[in-house]
A = this chain, B = another copy of it.
Amino acid sequence: MSSKSGMEQVLVENEVQQVRLLDSVNDDHGGVIVELSESMDSKVFASMLKASLALWRSQGKRGVWIKVPIELVNLVEAAVKEGFWFHHAEPKYLMLAFWIPEGAHTLPANASHRVGVGAFVMNKKREVLVVQEKSGLFRGTGVWKFPTGVVDEEEDICAAAMREVKEETAIDTEFVEVLAFRQSHKSFFDKSDLFFVCMLRPLTFDIEKQESEIEDAQWMPWDEYVAQPFVQKHELLKHLVGIWKAKEDEAYFGFSPVPITSRFPDQKSYLYVNDRDLKGSKVRMSQTA
């Protein structure tokens, strides 16, 4: 994968020097990616970086990415002194970025949204699957709420909804639809939040609550759930109760996942569409034809 490494002659500030360069791979946008893995002195790194930048500049490279594992945090300052900025970070690494050409960079924006799911699961006795949480906003309030959770990086929304229900209550489900979603802002620091309300069909019925996070779980009669003062007062839940009522009458349709292939053949995506309307429309079209 490495496009260059070892000792090379590079022209830096009109002098020919012997300098070790950073290992890098080319990306698909005319830039390079460096994944640091070797501990080194920050001064040695600084000179390698300077020399590498001079070479990349002479080669007409555009964006430069440096992924710094947290163990090599001592190298961050030197890169920032060369003009690198923070692009994004995860617990174990920091991604630094630099733009060689003149003018504004065209590097992709950082992830801006956290994604959550809520799972509405009702059985044939008109009971809804609800939990009481051990921590968070509703701890100790006695409020029964539908299972919710965070969608992980690289996790499908439909898979996340089923996983959360399974983890919190041990109930197996089949994904039906996204009934609605909410976008809100400043959910933590400056990041925004997308919350997908999903409907799932239960396949098993014996609840086993998760010890670590769940205080209690039950199948609760729908009218009792709705009668909770918390549900009556909460604007989002009031809307959702309306949707669920319409859903019971088979008068409401959300978005169902349709698998599609992405640019990369090994990668499946889901397109969420109003499948009932699409199918109805196709039926009508074929009847007309």
> Which A residues form the contact surface with B (CB < 8 A)?
70, 73-74, 76-77, 80, 85-95, 106, 108-115, 135, 150-157, 179-192, 194, 235-236, 239, 242-243, 245-246, 249, 251-255, 258, 260-262, 264, 267, 269-274, 277-278, 280-282, 284-285
Contact = CB atoms under 8 A, between A and B. Distances in A.
B182 A269 contact: yes
A160 to B, nearest CB: 10
A73 to B, nearest CB: 4
Contacts of A242: 278, 281-282
Q: Which 5 pairs show the lowest CB-CB distances between chains A and B?
A: A246-B281, A86-B89, A89-B89, A184-B269, A251-B281
A145 to B, nearest CB: 15
Contacts of A153: 112, 185, 190-192
B87 A110 contact: no
Contact of A150 (B109, B239, B258): B109
B109 A111 contact: no
Q: A interface, by DSSP: helix, strand, loop or mixed?
A: mixed
Contacts of A156: 183
Copies in the complex: 2
A274 B260 contact: no
A180 to B, nearest CB: 4
18 contacts: A77-B77, A86-B89, A86-B91, A86-B92, A88-B88, A90-B190, A112-B115, A154-B186, A180-B255, A181-B272, A235-B260, A236-B260, A239-B273, A242-B281, A245-B281, A251-B277, A251-B284, A255-B255
B189 A95 contact: yes
Nearest to A245: B281
Contacts of A281: 242, 245-246, 249, 251-252
Contact of A274 (B91, B189, B252): B252
Nearest to A269: B184
A90 B191 CA distance: 11
A254 B274 contact: yes
Contacts of A186: 154, 264, 267
Given A186-B267, A271-B182, A272-B182, A277 B252 contact: yes
A42 B29 CA distance: 37
A270 to B, nearest CB: 6
Contact of A77 (B74, B95, B115, B188): B74
Which of A87, A154, A183 has its CB near the most chain B CB atoms (within 10 A)?
Answer: A183
A270 B239 CA distance: 12
Which of A94, A180, A277, A285 has its CB near the most chain B CB atoms (within 10 A)?
Answer: A277
